[in-house]
Amino acid sequence: MSLLLNSLGRDRGLYISRVFDAHCDTVGYFTGEKGSYHFLEINERAHVDLPRLKAGGVKAQVFALFIEPHFKPNEALKRCLYLLDAYHRVVKECPQELATVGNYAQLHEMAGTDKIAAILLVEGGEVLQGNLEVLGRLNRLGIRGLGLTWNTENQISGAAMEGAASRGLTRFGREIVREMNRLGMIIDLAHISRRGFYDVLDVSRVPVIVSHANVAAICDHPRNLTDQQMRALRENNGVLGISFYPPFISHQKADLARLLDHFVHAADIMGVNHLGIGSDFDGIDVVLEELKDVSFLPRLISGLYRRGFNKKEVGKILFDNFLRVAEETLTGENYEGIC
Ligand SMILES: [Zn+2]
């Protein structure tokens, strides 16, 4: 353990930075259903835990509550509450090191401390069970973001994996987008259909995120964004979190160099103000050799410098861009904790 962190520590001396990771599925480990896991210790089978978040320089982490397909549709909300409970049981063990935030003010305050700011997001609009009121209740429980779809269509929209013919935003979906704007919640379009993507950009008053996806021009995958989508995201002032999932990076050999190509192309299309990181750690079954877990982030950072991004640009990609979206989006209540 110390060997791993020490060796990474040397890297960090050169490339120390603060990171905002827009997507991990680590809460899936918090339930204990995937075997023994302790957030406060290094767990080799998972990609994320507290020691390695620190080693990776992560200062803000979006924790997705991923609703697994077999809970949909009828058990989706129940599953979400189960995951939320598991999350609270784990993070209450480290109140000095990680704190859940509810709005930009809390996030901004946390960024000035040694603590990691955690933002809760549900991945899968089925959680609402077609009921607008559930959104407000989840928001009161601390949920501050929603991935509108996963890989299949739901009451809100069609999904990217269903192909170009998949439907766009439904009437219910439009209501959800407006209500999320009103409540101060982050709209995540990572898995949405292309039509749904443009529909949301038409409806939303504030920037959106695509928390974990890549660039279709480099790796043609239905989950990756076309140049046209990226230009639309730029117009919305939103941010794309580039994921580390090898099948999104290349159909041939995926490695760090190829991943960096995605950053460079996205920056060419959108400029550096709309680019971030959404690792998808603990949601992916394969990883890049050079980015095996969150503690390896310094390698990505040094790679961004090698590709010509300057210090200010790297700071935007790693943290500041998502912070800007949070400022425009997370305008609701403080997170006060669960009692
Ligand atoms: Zn996902």
Rounded distance between C-alpha atoms, residue 104 and residue 82, angstroms: 26
Distance of CA 222 from the midpoint of ligand 1 (Å): 13
Distance of CA 283 from the midpoint of ligand 1 (Å): 7
Distance of CA 80 from the midpoint of ligand 1 (Å): 15
Split at pLDDT 50, 70, 90, the class of 221 is very high
Q: What are the phi and psi torsion angles at 173 (to 5°)?
A: -60, -40
Measured from the Cβ of residue 265, the count of other Cβ atoms closer than 10 Å reads 17
Residue 2 predicted with pLDDT over 80? no
Would you state the pLDDT for residue 336?
A: 84
Distance of CA 287 from the midpoint of ligand 1 (Å): 15
The overall average pLDDT reported for the chain is 94
CA nearest neighbour of 18 among 321, 319, 239: 319
Distance of CA 191 from the midpoint of ligand 1 (Å): 7
Distance of CA 7 from the midpoint of ligand 1 (Å): 31
């101060």: which residue's tokens? Answer: 184
Question: For residue range 74-100, what is the model confidence (pLDDT) as tens digits?
Answer: 999 999 999 999 999 999 999 999 999
The residue ranges of every structural domain in the chain are 15-329
Distance of CA 123 from the midpoint of ligand 1 (Å): 7
Would you state the pLDDT for residue 16?
A: 57
Distance of CA 162 from the midpoint of ligand 1 (Å): 14
Would you state the pLDDT for residue 236?
A: 98
Would you state the pLDDT for residue 338?
A: 61
Distance of CA 23 from the midpoint of ligand 1 (Å): 8
Distance of CA 63 from the midpoint of ligand 1 (Å): 11
Distance of CA 147 from the midpoint of ligand 1 (Å): 8
Distance of CA 14 from the midpoint of ligand 1 (Å): 32
Give percent above pLDDT 70 in the chain.
95
Distance of CA 120 from the midpoint of ligand 1 (Å): 14
Distance of CA 247 from the midpoint of ligand 1 (Å): 13
Q: What are the phi and psi torsion angles at 208 (to 5°)?
A: -115, 170
């989950």: which residue's tokens? Answer: 223
Residue 1 predicted with pLDDT over 50? no
* CATH value of 15-329 in 3.40.50.980, 3.40.50.720, 3.40.50.80, 3.20.20.140: 3.20.20.140
Residues 25, 328 contacting (CB under 8 angstroms)? no
Looking at beta carbons, which pairs linking 48-51 to residues 24 or more positions away fall under 8 Å?
48/24, 48/281, 48/282, 48/293, 48/294, 50/94, 50/97, 50/98, 50/116, 51/1, 51/5, 51/295
Distance of CA 114 from the midpoint of ligand 1 (Å): 28
**Averaged pLDDT, 1-20:** 56
**Could you give the 3-state DSSP secondary structure of residue 172?**
helix
Would you state the pLDDT for residue 91?
A: 96
Distance of CA 93 from the midpoint of ligand 1 (Å): 27
Distance of CA 2 from the midpoint of ligand 1 (Å): 31
Distance of CA 213 from the midpoint of ligand 1 (Å): 8
Distance of CA 11 from the midpoint of ligand 1 (Å): 29
Contacts of 172 (CB under 8 A, 6+ apart): 130, 132, 155, 156
